Amino acid sequence: MLDIKWIRENGERLQTIADQKGMEVSINELLEWDGQKRSLLQQIEPLRQARNKMSQDINLLMQTGNMEKADQCKQTVKELNGELARLEAELAGAEQAFKKLMLRVPNIVSPDTPVGRSDADNVEIRRVGFPIRFDFVPRDHVALGELHNMIDIPRGVKTAGSRNYYLKGAGVMLHRAVQQLALDLLMHKGFLPLEVPLMARAEALTGTGFFPLGEDQVYAVPEEERWLVGTSEVPLVSYYSNETVDVTEPIKLAAASTCFRNEVGSASKDVHGLYRVHQFSKVEQVILCEASLDRSEELLREITGNAEELLQLLKLPYRVMSVCTGDMSQKTYKQFDIESWMPSRDSYGETHSSSSLLDFQARRSNIRYRDAQGKPHYCYTLNNTAVASPRILIPLLENHQEEDGSIWIPPALRPYMNGMERLVPPGGPVHNALSV
């Protein structure tokens, strides 16, 4: 949420940003409701003051026995109450319309954010590592998972419907290993780990900027008036909602949690394998800091660097992308995506995302701090996916496969895999019938 005073002065600029982000909201309509709301308040306040003053006069008149004058004042108060009821009903309608539009207003974007319509317009910043080229025909992650008896998609679909899966044996170990590696990495860097609720109230999702525009992506639990969260960013930021916090040093939080996403609108998109599923696990990093552009830029580089360090530990080639306006969410000020090389796609696929939100979430969630002079300010917030699984298993399995079907385990993961250096298919190495 933005400051309405800023919106009044920058309406045309904000409408351009909304159009670039693909947000269907009219800033002019918002400002019209804002003007109507302020006009009604200007009419209501004097009437309220007059009514209150006259109510005091009635008490004095009755105490002095001037009942005729008191009755006249009572009639005037009745008329004032009638007029106030009409105006207050109009004000309630105007405030409701104003709030509804305010919740659809996008965050501003950084000056260096590229303008574009979709992820095709994202700009590559850097590449680390080189896409592997095999001297044999490689298997994709599904074939490798079946060969090693660690991924079972058909039974996942049988049990829970499309975009569901089972992980078994070594698949479970890898799934948990990458999460623990990421969590340990963040804890070493001063992040406080939290075990978070997987369900949230509507206020938490609205406060963090996921409602109302993302409501179709979230699974509802209607009888509880709760929703299953698609990222622990929601409970991590909401942990401090309606509080004044100390950000003398940035507050750094992390959580490893199961996440749920409806994936509405992706019926024919990425249907093969584990790339786009309804249930997954993420290690999320969230930071709350002072309202400083320089500090938030520094922290955005830091959390992006944490994700890059993890990929380097996993020995995976990747590239960092500057996300364009049309591929950003409503709440984002600046965003980097990290894409890992996925041989089966013969391209890079998104595995991580880093975002700076300025005070957009903090305004909606009412999270403040006080500066050295005691003046309150809204915090800035940032977030990053340290790792998401099972998606990360795609590049991990595919890049580290060997011709005989074995899978090399990066040294950083071995302590979490009982010291195993490679996964060998049940029954031993196999001949790749597809090899040339």
Q: Based on the residue annotation, tell me whether 266 is a catalytic residue of this protein.
A: no
3-state secondary structure of 362: helix
Band of pLDDT at residue 436, cut at 50, 70 and 90: very low
Instruction: List beta partners, residue 167.
Output: 151
Domains of the chain: 4-102 (1.10.287.40), 119-423 (3.30.930.10)
CA 6 to chain CA mean position, Å: 24
- pTM exceeds 0.85 for this model: yes
**Distance between CA atoms of residues 369 and 99, nearest Å:** 24
Tens of pLDDT, residues 192-224: 999 999 999 999 999 999 999 999 999 999 999
Q: Which candidate in 233, 284, 350, 398 is catalytic? A: 350
Tell whether the model's pLDDT for residue 328 goes beyond 80.
yes
Q: Based on the residue annotation, tell me whether 261 is a catalytic residue of this protein.
A: yes
Q: Based on the residue annotation, tell me whether 353 is a catalytic residue of this protein.
A: yes
Q: Based on the residue annotation, tell me whether 201 is a catalytic residue of this protein.
A: no
Q: Which candidate in 139, 163, 226, 261 is catalytic? A: 261
Residue 137 has a pLDDT of 95
Token pair 């009437």 is found at 47
Q: Which candidate in 353, 354, 356, 406 is catalytic? A: 353
For residue 292, give the DSSP letter: -
Q: Strands 151-152, 226-228: parallel, antiparallel or unpaired by DSSP? A: unpaired
Tens of pLDDT, residues 351-410: 999 999 999 999 999 999 999 999 999 999 999 999 999 999 999 999 999 999 999 999
Tens of pLDDT, residues 185-200: 999 999 999 999 999 9
Measuring CA to CA, which residue among 169, 254, 221, 207 is closest to residue 362?
A: 207
Q: Which candidate in 163, 368, 391, 398 is catalytic? A: 391
Q: Which candidate in 48, 276, 295, 422 is catalytic? A: 276
**Distance between CA atoms of residues 150 and 420, nearest Å:** 16
SS (H, E, C) 113-176: CCCCCCHHHCEEEEEECCCCCCCCCCCCHHHHHHHCCCEEHHHHHHHHCCCCCEECCHHHHHHH
Task: Specify the range with the lowest mean pLDDT, choosing from 4-13, 267-276, 277-286, 379-388.
Answer: 267-276
Q: Based on the residue annotation, tell me whether 45 is a catalytic residue of this protein.
A: no
**Distance between CA atoms of residues 263 and 353, nearest Å:** 17
Tell whether the model's pLDDT for residue 242 goes beyond 70.
yes
